[in-house]
A and B are shown apart, each in its own frame.
Chain A
């Protein structure tokens, strides 16, 4: 059927209705007269002819009027659906659109209450999205019942969503499926709401009269449900988009926090050559490395890894860094610094979050590196002769337990020594087959590159790791730093 938005030429104007009413009045009078004459046993043929003529005219008038009413309803329905479409394109507020749908529906179908219900596939339950015509107390009853959980297949609405077929219930008192909230409801009509070929919910109407809805009403309701489907589907994709945007914002924020705390340039500390690099993963972890000038001849060297990802990890890392930098200025004993940092993090952090770290002080006059390892992947000390040693002395990871004692030790460095610090993102980087890069591969590689500058070693190793690792699997942050005794 094509839709002509112009009002039809044959609107049932008051005049026509008045004339028809007069015809029915005349018919009633003639009927009375005819019955009287029949009872009296003297039927008047002229009266009977006249009665028949008026009856025909009135019946024809009624039929035409019904047709006109039908056309008018169609026009009204099309007009309101057009209005809803316009509303849909002008506002993204789902509440407003759904309310408009139910309000407009009133102009086409008579009902006392209506509701739009949405099926949440993830939890397998139904939710109420919009109700009209419910008293406050009735609304509460319904909300409570839905909060307790109405599943697909339960209630009239739930059955419609399960089967995808409408249900017309002319007398809900005799239907065990009916979930009673409005006491006065006697009949109910519910149709499914579809979107992209899937059932996403149901639209239902309730009436205080029994058998209140017609097949024509059902067709109207289905047309309105289609619009509700478009609105709900659009709201869903809007929500999804917003969620994705929020996630991206969080990642950007975390990345900004993280990168603002990493050294922008490495200090000159001859005869030592220092370099470090961090490659944040897509999820943003909490990796950290630092070179902290303490005195003219003492340089703090740190590497750390914080549990978790995102803003939480970035903040914990910021906390750890601030704490370490403050304590490293007040204190010279590495084990005392880590003990204080541990207690501070323990007091301020959740029990399940912690930091693994190595902190040490490089003394360039005496060529001594004094360090403590707090539960971190042990750095390598690579000697010129190819031998290696792991820097493992220290204590527990930081921030998980109170009053932890740390041990420290001093390493006497010789010319050509390379200290290699890294986070588990380097050694646990894995390729498509699930093979890890591994500490051994890392050690061998740095041994081979040992004659290059610290910066060049960091560059080549991180390139090799990034080349090795699979792009399809989510990877951790990569952090690497080198201290080289030239």
Chain B
């Protein structure tokens, strides 16, 4: 326990100028604030009296009440040393104040009598802090809300959820982009995608395929090639086409075969199995569409 030692040198009022003046040291309570009702404050007085004797009957009586402060303990110890005596006096005060607001209170001033000399102990002031500052109205104002229940940190889980959902959406879009026939997303309306849709529609009907339908199917694919090439494209242009559109390089052989087959179908007089030709064109257009979308 920390103690604030205040040493006070008291010039004793001496009635006899010949006797050696007693010296006094006062040790007050450590804090001048935060004192509540019922607290016990202790003052310790150390008196070097020379050869004189402390008149113990002049000490204040235990049980004295003064201004809400009761003296609840008086203890004296003496220690004689070569020619002089040291008295250690301890006063215990208990606070019984009824103030509803913080207020300044004092441990009362005391007097000690050593032989014919009176030693004055000054009063010691402190701040009294009431336990309850007011009535229920005030108390209500002072009520603090209960501490909230601590929540589990869901930030990481939220991030995980967002990432998972994002991956799912991207995967779905990728699957859609790769496999869907319709033009549901940007960049899905390429020339070969359109040709593939037209060819699938043409291939769907159960009717026997005619040479005219076969030619129409070839036209769809030729148009797609022309659109990509920016001009009419013929078998002799396949190398140049692949050079301009490297994405189709993997299908160069199939493209060359397509042009050869197309020439036979469109310009040779010999007839071919139109259903089979159209079915082959559907497959080829799908592969070309994949190249067009960069997913082959």
Chains A and B bind each other: no
